[in-house]
């Protein structure tokens, strides 16, 4: 009898649970206009006035067509003496125009955009959402992050400014809006989600730690805003992955925390972004390295070398240490560490978590800028040499940090190579360190100037690139 009563109670209890479950599955009809009219319009209204169009123009030299020396061809194809008449642009020059977007982040007319939008521009104009247009000047360019800060030439005027949020507050799946000027059609808003965070294998800039989104981003969106549900700018749209040139649902934005670092440097009057200097070379942990270190998975940044006297050396970091965290945040690879360390403010210390011989340790690394221990003494190589057209400076920790090259006590590093010069034909690249010329050790730019002053039928040049030394024999 008791068994039957227990069975009856169990059936009644199960039935009581089934009723709410069935009710929960019933579709609910919206009960108000507010529920029907769910919209992102308030977020757009708050942010859109601060999103601008950026127009950049630059004049580039192009190779002269020898046919243009003939008055007959000039008459029919333009140029001085042709249909263009006096004042017609020289046929050796061409005007390039680029279109991008930007975000006003300061009421005095401070605009953040992508460096590639304004790179090399002779003239920059900014158009606001209310149709006003202003000329702009460059306050700071940072090619390493592909960011630039502009100032509108409109003294005494106040502008609507967007609020910078924290990209660390984002989570995969959060709804975001992309606002910009795709294809020059005018201000456009697209909506999507955060598809991924901390993307490091993108290859866009030195600091790779991007927000990935499926909000449509197209050409012209570069420099525009990625906005969260509270109307805060959490990223600057910078690139897309596309096989067609249009949006395919994979866009990347520079995190707002990195934008803030560049903006602070610009507002302080700096000509370059000052970031903390580690003074150590790091490498990615491969599955084989993880097995050798007895790690459960390939994660972290392995210390390859430590520069004497650097903050890393002073803190006790050693070759073979595995960095796995910064200030309580995990580090998956060297790019992730580079971002986390670079976005820490100068001054004070950063707590870095490492694994040394299977033991976890914490080190306090000073947040100091790389010092310029040697004057740069910039020169451009001239004369009949394979290095002609290369601009070089003396190495120092500051220069090595800027160029992401090897950190040597002495040496000469290439900072630029003019197009069409012998150095360009030699395939010399910015970041290459020139070690020897015709058997002479090159310790500074003065040594290089002397070594290239004497003519030679054959040049023997030793260069270090990416940790590897290469010696080449080149004709004079």
How far is it, in rounded angstroms, from Cα 177 to Cα 440? 58
**Active-site residue, selected from the candidate residues 101, 142, 146, 407:** 146
Q: Is 354 helix (H, G, I), strand (E, B) or coil?
A: strand
Instruction: Yes or no: say if 107 and 155 are a contact pair by the CB < 8 Å rule.
Output: no
Domain 167-267 is found in CATH 2.40.10.10: yes
Confidence at residue 221, expressed as pLDDT on a 0 to 100 scale: 85
The answer to whether 3 is a known catalytic residue is no
Annotate 209-264 with three-state secondary structure. Answer: CEEEECCCCCCCCCCCEEECCCCCEEEEEEEECCCCCCCCCCEEEEEHHHHHHHHH
Long-range Cβ contacts of 400-406 (<8 Å, 24+ apart): 400/370, 401/275, 401/277, 401/370, 402/144, 402/272, 403/430, 403/431, 404/144, 404/206, 404/431, 405/431, 405/432, 405/433, 406/433, 406/464, 406/466, 406/467
Number of other CB atoms surrounding residue 361 within 10 Å: 13
Least confident range from 115-129, 246-260, 263-277: namely 246-260
The fold adopted by the segment(s) 379-475 is: Pdz3 Domain (2.30.42)
Segment (H or E) for 180: strand 175-180
User: What is the pLDDT, as a whole number, of residue 203?
Assistant: 57
pLDDT band for position 9 (cuts 50, 70, 90): very low
Contact 224, 181 (CB under 8 A): yes
Count helices and strands in the chain by DSSP H and E runs? 12, 25
Report the CATH fold assignment for 280-366.
Pdz3 Domain (2.30.42)
Catalytic member of 116, 167, 195, 310: 116
242 as an active site residue: the answer is no
User: Which residue out of 222, 247, 265, 396 is catalytically annotated?
Assistant: 222
Q: Give CATH 2.30.42.10 domain extents, the chain.
A: 280-366, 379-475
- Give residue 29's pLDDT: 62
Q: How many other C-beta atoms are found inside a 10 Å radius of the C-beta of residue 441?
A: 12
Q: Of 50-54, 208-212, 376-380, which gets the smallest average pLDDT?
A: 208-212
Return the number of other C-beta atoms located less than 10 Å from residue 470's C-beta: 12
Which residues 6+ apart lie within 8 Å of 203 measured at CB?
Answer: none
CATH 2.40.10.10 segments of the chain: 50-81+92-152, 167-267
The answer to whether residue 193 scores a pLDDT higher than 60 is: yes
Give the model's pLDDT for residue 88. Answer: 41
Check residue 39 and give its pLDDT: 82
- pTM of the predicted structure, to 2 decimals: 0.76
Class of domain 50-81+92-152: mainly beta
133 and 113 in contact (C-beta within 8 Å)? no
Average pLDDT, the chain: 83
């Amino acid at each position: 009898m008791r068994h039957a009563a227990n069975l009856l109670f169990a059936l009644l209890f199960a039935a009581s649970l089934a009723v709410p479950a069935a009710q929960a599955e019933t579709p609910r009809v919206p009960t108000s206009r507010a529920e029907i009219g769910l919209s992102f319009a308030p977020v757009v209204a708050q942010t859109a006035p601060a999103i601008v169009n950026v127009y950049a123009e630059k004049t580039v030299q192009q190779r002269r067509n020898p046919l243009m020396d003939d008055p007959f061809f000039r008459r029919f194809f333009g140029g001085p003496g042709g249909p263009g008449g006096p004042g017609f642009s020289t046929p050796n020059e061409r005007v390039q125009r680029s279109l991008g977007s930007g975000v006003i982040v300061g009421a005095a007319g401070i605009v953040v955009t992508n460096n590639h939008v304004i790179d090399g521009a002779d003239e920059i104009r900014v158009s606001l959402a209310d149709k006003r247009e202003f000329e702009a000047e460059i306050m700071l360019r940072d090619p390493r992050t592909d960011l630039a800060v502009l100032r509108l030439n409109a003294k005494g005027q106040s502008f609507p400014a967007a609020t910078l949020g924290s990209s660390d507050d984002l989570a995969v799946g959060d709804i975001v809006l992309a606002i910009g000027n795709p294809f020059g059609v005018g201000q456009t808003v697209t909506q999507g989600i955060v598809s991924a965070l901390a993307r490091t294998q993108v290859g866009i800039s030195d600091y790779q730690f991007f927000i990935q989104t499926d909000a449509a981003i197209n050409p012209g969106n570069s420099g525009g805003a990625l906005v969260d549900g509270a109307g805060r700018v959490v990223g600057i749209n910078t690139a897309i992955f596309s096989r067609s040139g249009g949006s395919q649902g994979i866009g990347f934005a520079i995190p707002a925390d990195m934008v803030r670092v560049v903006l602070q440097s610009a507002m302080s009057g700096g000509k370059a972004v000052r970031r903390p200097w580690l003074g150590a070379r790091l490498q990615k942990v491969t599955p084989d390295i993880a097995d050798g270190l007895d790690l459960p998975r390939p994660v972290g940044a392995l210390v390859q070398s430590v520069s004497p006297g650097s903050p890393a050396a002073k803190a006790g970091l050693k070759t073979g240490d595995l960095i796995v965290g910064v200030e309580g945040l995990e580090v998956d690879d060297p790019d992730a560490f580079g971002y986390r360390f670079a976005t820490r403010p100068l001054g004070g210390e950063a707590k870095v978590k490492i694994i040394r011989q299977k033991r976890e340790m914490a080190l306090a690394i000073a947040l100091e800028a790389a010092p310029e221990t040697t004057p740069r003494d910039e020169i451009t190589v001239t004369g009949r040499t394979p290095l002609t057209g290369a601009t070089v400076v003396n190495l120092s920790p500051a220069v090595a940090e800027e160029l992401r090259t090897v950190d040597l006590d002495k040496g000469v590093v290439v900072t630029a190579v003019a197009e069409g010069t012998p150095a360009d034909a030699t395939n010399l690249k910015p970041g290459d360190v020139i070690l020897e010329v015709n058997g002479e050790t090159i310790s500074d730019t003065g040594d290089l100037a002397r070594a290239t002053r004497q003519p030679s039928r054959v040049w023997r040049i030793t260069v270090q690139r990416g940790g590897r030394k290469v010696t080449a024999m080149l004709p004079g």
